Structure 1
Amino acid sequence: MVYPCHRPQQKIADYVRDRRLVLELTQDGLSQRSGVPLATLRKFEQKGIISLESLLKLLLVVGGPEDIIVALEPDKPIFTSIDDVLKEGNTAYRKTGRRK
């Protein structure tokens, strides 16, 4: 069973696997080029589980770290009038988390 929180992880794993195949790399070849242990790469491609450091190492080899960074950027509001700008200006965004 795939839980909803695992879908994004699996999409990233599928992306890396697809890029690896386009580059005609085996899992072992990608492991050697990236410095990520083969067992870690296999687990990632099967289950989507990986550390951020290992993911970045893989992305440096297969390409795409810029795509991931762009995907993580917050949406910027689109203003259609000065009223929208003024309304947005009244919305305070927190820059730190709340205390527990």
Structure 2
Amino acid sequence: MFAFNMRSPSEVIRGLSERVKRRRIDVGLTQRDLAARAGISYGSLRLFEETGKISLEALMKVAFILECEAEFEQLFPPRPPKTIDDIIDRPVRQRVRRK
């Protein structure tokens, strides 16, 4: 069964940046403090909180400082099996062929 989601990628990104800002404020860090502790520029953090734009590496650094890195482990979980054939030991596919 498919989960129907009405949110766009930009809405998801915006929500993420708002949650990071809220977490930063909750732990009592200024933008400059968090940027310095994470080893990223103040401008990068400010831009992220305003627009949602940030590199994945910088986002991971911020997540570690805010103690949220475990949530990244939940991204892209394996798909659950749908048939018995999916459960039987099959070699794991390494790539997809073009059709």
C-alpha root-mean-square deviation of aligned residues, in Å? 2.8
Supply the distance in 2 between the matched residues of 1:74 and 1:45 (Cα, whole angstroms): 30
Superposed, which structure 2 residues align to 1:1-100 within 5 Å? 4-77=8-81, 84-86=83-85, 88-89=86-87, 94-99=93-98
Supply the distance in 1 between the matched residues of 2:28 and 2:52 (Cα, whole angstroms): 21
TM-score normalised by L of structure 2 = 0.74
Superposed displacement of residue 96, structure 1: 0.8
Deviation above 2 Å: which 4+ runs of structure 1? Answer: 74-78, 92-95, 97-100
In structure 2, the partner of 1:81 is none
Gaps of 5+ in 1: 79-83
Higher helix share: 1
1:41-73 Cα deviation digits (max 9, x unpaired): 011111111111100110110111111221332
Match for 1:85: what amino acid?
I
